[in-house]
Amino acid sequence: MDAIRIIVLVSLGVGAVFGSVAAQEEWVLWERQLDSKGEGLGDWRRGRVFDAERWCKGAMTTAINQALTQTIQVPRKPSLMEYQCLPESADPRKAQGKR
């Protein structure tokens, strides 16, 4: 009887792992330019696609750091950008009126 319980529990565990892997989505890095007041200029632009949220957020951090570095190295009026990482099924262009 105990052997049957162990097999059932192992089977359920394997199913849970495969189920969570299948449910994972890719993540998209979105960007848009902002005016000096922080209002969006134009529409969101779809960027690179990543296998996991953490990779998307890492790329977002890199983009922000690169923009700051360029502004410091070449003094000019900074270009303000907004970034966000969203699951591939989400599209910020469809949610503009809800902000």
Looking at residues 19-24, what average pLDDT do you find? 50
The full set of domain ranges for the chain reads 25-89
pLDDT at 7: 45
The answer to whether residue 97 scores a pLDDT higher than 80 is no
pTM tops 0.75: no
Within 13 Å of residue 82, how many CA atoms lie on the same side as its CB?
14
Closest CA to 34 of 25, 26, 42: 42
Dihedral of CA atoms 73, 75, 58, 83 in degrees, nearest 10, equals -170
The answer to whether residue 9 scores a pLDDT higher than 80 is no
State what percent of residues in the chain have pLDDT above 90.
41
pLDDT at 17: 41
The answer to whether residue 58 scores a pLDDT higher than 60 is yes
Give 59's contacts (C-beta < 8 A, 6+ positions apart): 29, 47, 48, 50
